[in-house]
Amino acid sequence: MKNDNSLKSWLTDLNLDHPLVIGGPCSAETEDQVLKIAHELKNSDVSAFRAGIWKPRTRPGNFEGVGAIGLKWLKKVKEQTGLLTATEVANANHCKLALDADIDILWIGARSTVSPFIVQEIADALKGTDKIVLIKNPVNPDLDLWLGGIERLYKSEIKKLGVIHRGFSTSGKSQYRNNPEWQIAIELQNKFPDLPIICDPSHICGRRDLIFDISQRALDLNFDGLMVESHNDPDNAWSDAKQQITPETLIQFMKDWKIRELTTTEENYQNDLKNLRAKIDVIDQSLLDLLRDRMQVAEDIGELKKSKNVAVLQNKRWNEILGKMILDGQERKLSEEFILRIFKAIHQESINHQQNIYKN
Ligand code: PEP
Ligand code: MN
C-alpha cells in the first residue's frame, strides 16, 4: 500500500476543531438505552455514536448482542440526534445489513483482525464503499497483521480508512486489560502518517479509572481521535461494565483533556527545541560510544574464556547483574520494564560478539 494523502480527507471533511470522539455503549441493549445515551451525547464534541450489536465474546453464553434489530435503533439515533453511527462488523452478512441500514462507520474488531480470511471476507463485502471503515489492531502485538488488514481494505478500494489502537493481549502482568504497546501504534503512524488513528482507551484500560490518562497520552501522541465506551448505567451494562463511563463523565473528560499543537512557529519555542534536541543528540552519541566500549570488553572476556575453554553464558552472574541493575535503575527513576528490556538486549549483543570469537 502506497502512502496516500487522500486517506485523511474523510476526517478533514468532518471539519472538526478538536479530535474526533466516538462515544456510546459497548453494546446496544434496548432501544431506550441506545436513545437515552445518544441524546445525552448529542450536544457535545462527540461526533459519532458507537454501539456493538454483534458482540464477539471470549466465552459462549455471555450476552452476544441484540443483532440486526439494533440497526433500527442506530437509524433512529441518526435521525433524532444527527450523530454519525458506528458499529462492529465481523462477517459478510453483518456488512450487508449495516450498509443497507446506512451505518456511517463500520469497524473491524480485534478478534477479527487476527484472521486474514475474515478480513478478506469483510473487505470483499465492503468493496468500493464510501462508508468510513476502521480496523482495530489484532489482539496479539503483531504490526504486520494489522498492516495486512489495512492493505486488504485498501485493495478493496475503500478510501475512507482509519485504524483503532485498542491495546494488545499480554501474558505478562499489566495493570491494563490490553497493554498499550504504544511503540507499535507509533510505528504504524510513521509508516502511514496520513491514515487517521484513533485510540480506544476503554479496551486498553478495562477499568474506568485509567481512561482519562490513557486518552491524554494518546492525544499527546497526536492521535486523531478517541473511541470511548459510555453508558447511562455503567455498572449494570450487559458487557464491559467495569470500563464504561457515563456520558456526563465523557463530556467532562472532553473539557479537561489538553489538546496539543502539532508544532508552533513561535521563535522561542523553536530555539529551545533545537537546543534540547542538540543535547539529546550528544547524549545519544555518548550512549553509542559506551555501548561500543562495552562490547570491546565483552570480546576481551570472550578471548579469555575461549583460552580456558569456558562456556559463553554464565547464568548466575547474569541474574546477579540484572537484579542489581533493576535496583540501580529505580534510584535513577528508570522503570523495571525498561531496565529489563535494555539490558537483555545489551546482554544478547555481548553474547553474539563473544560467540563470534568462539567461531574464529
Ligand atoms: C468493542 O469495541 O466493544 C470490542 C469488542 O472491542 P475489541 O474488538 O477491541 O475487543
Ligand atoms: Mn466493549
Residue 245 pairs with which residues in a beta bridge? 230
Residues 6+ apart with CB under 8 A from 28: 34, 51, 52, 53, 65, 66, 70, 73, 74
With respect to residue 263, please indicate whether it lies within any of the assigned structural domains.
no
CA 27 to ligand 1: nearest atom: 3
**352 and 214 share one domain:** no
Residues 6+ apart with CB under 8 A from 172: 179
What's the mean pLDDT in 189-210?
Answer: 96
Locate cell 475512507: which residue? 160
- How far apart are the CA of 288 and the centre of ligand 2, in A? 44
What's the whole-number average pLDDT of the chain?
A: 94
Kindly tell me if the per-residue pLDDT of 3 is higher than 80. Answer: no
Residue 171: domain span: 5-256
**178 and 293 share one domain:** no
pLDDT tens digits for 132-145?
A: 999 999 999 999 99
With respect to residue 261, please indicate whether it lies within any of the assigned structural domains.
no
pLDDT tens digits for 28-81?
A: 999 999 999 999 999 999 999 999 999 988 888 889 999 999 999 999 999 999
CATH number at residue 110: 3.20.20.70
Considering 196, 222, 256, which residue would you say is the last residue of a domain?
A: 256
What residues are neighbours of ligand 2 (ion), with CB under 5 Å? 26, 240
- 41 vs 38: CA distance, rounded Å: 5
User: Over the range 15-28, which residues count as b (16 or more CB within 10 Å of their CB) and which as e?
Assistant: eeeebbbbbbbbbb
Atom 1 (ligand 1) nearest CA? 26
User: Contact, 114 vs 145, CB < 8 A?
Assistant: yes
Nearest Cα neighbor of 40 from 310, 245, 278 is 245
**133 and 50 share one domain:** yes
Atom 3 (ligand 1) nearest CA? 26
Ligand 1 pocket at CB < 6 A: 26, 52, 56, 109-111, 136, 166, 203
With respect to residue 262, please indicate whether it lies within any of the assigned structural domains.
no
Domain count, the chain: 2
First-to-last alpha carbon distance for the chain, in angstroms, is: 44
Cα–Cα distances (Å) from 12 to 21, 148, 172, 266, in that order, read 14, 25, 39, 25
- How far apart are the CA of 243 and the centre of ligand 2, in A? 8
Kindly tell me if the per-residue pLDDT of 302 is higher than 70. Answer: yes
Pocket test for ligand 1, best of 22, 113, 139, 166 (most atoms within 8 A of CB): 166
CA 240 to ligand 1: nearest atom: 3
Say what the pLDDT of residue 319 is.
87
Pocket test for ligand 1, best of 53, 55, 63, 88 (most atoms within 8 A of CB): 88
Phi, psi dihedral angles at 108 (to 5 degrees): -100, 125
**155 and 287 share one domain:** no
